[in-house]
Homo-oligomer: A and B are copies of this chain.
Amino acid sequence: MINDLNDIVNRVVKETRPSLGQGRVANYIPALGAIDPRKFGIAIFPLNEPPVVYGNADEPFSIQSISKVFTLTLALEAYGADLWAYVGREPSGTPFNSIVQLEQEAGLPRNPFINAGAIAVTATLLKQQTVSVFLDHLVTFVQQIADDETISIDQVVARSEAETGNRNRSLAAFMASFNNLAAPVEDALNAYFNQCALAMSCRQLARAGLFLANKGLDPISGRRLISPERCRRMNALMLTCGHYDGSGEFAFRVGLPGKSGVGGGILAIAPGHASIAVWSPGLNERGNSLAGTVALERLAKRTGWSVFSQG
């Protein structure tokens, strides 16, 4: 099958090529805006088979919102169902940084993958640890599941996030005004800006997501990270909410649980099959990687891995 997968990836790459360099690179911080928009990498880790990688798959990029998957994993392990007192589980129908829904629903964010929801999740993790202990914990966790100790937070990006973070500051203060934030506003933001600045390559990211494709068990280390039921639910959240107000479109076209970041990365999970990471910095109008989405659409079609085409 690995030869097949190599063939498939080659075809997918060919089909994706016309989309490279299209879209707009995020430029709200200099470190992101300076990236060459023609970069493209993909890494596929099938269960129990060697990975297939292509292009700039070993170049670290800013994973940004994809980090929300890792903090949600930690928060669910720490608090279980109590976490849902701080954040909902519904698609938002609004852009990633919208505050309208927060006012209409008294400061409770719709889901853990919009900015407000992710800040709320991170805040819960600060209930019993300082920001720096949290960040150490997070980096160590990601290093372990990616099996790579070189992963780190890009301090330049983290500082830039903080300097341009007034929209997120507004979201955090808004939740705090309803007593729906479990940590002080500046602590929550400090932790959040740093987690978004995690730098990872496609290879590291796909490796790190492998447990989500295998019912919560890392198939390489044999380590159980979360229960099968929690794994199923995390995939459900990624499918319905992982791409902001483009989540329906992604489900429609690709049919895989996934989480995108404004740095141009997407982590996609094919339950029972593989963990996949793509990276291309040009974004579509919803803020998701344009070429990355095309590549995943082609890949899902050629592999039949869509969760909606079983059997």
A272 touches B (CB below 8 Å): yes
Majority secondary structure, A binding face: helix
A155 touches B (CB below 8 Å): no
| Closest residue on chain B to residue A254 by CB atoms | B236
Chain-B contact segment, one of A35-43, A129-137, A145-153, A170-178? A170-178
A166 B177 Cβ-Cβ under 8 A: yes
A101 touches B (CB below 8 Å): yes
B240 A248 Cβ-Cβ under 8 A: yes
Contacts of A31 in B (CB 8 A): none
Contacts of A99 in B (CB 8 A): 99-100, 102-103, 170, 174
B166 A272 Cβ-Cβ under 8 A: no
Least CB distance, A304 to chain B, in whole angstroms: 9
A239 touches B (CB below 8 Å): yes
Contact of A89 among B170, B233, B248 (CB under 8 A): B248
Which residues of A are interface residues toward B (Cβ below 8 A)? 47, 88-94, 98-104, 110-111, 166-167, 169-174, 176-177, 185, 213-215, 228-229, 231-233, 235-237, 239-241, 245-249, 251-253, 255, 257, 271-273, 301, 306-311
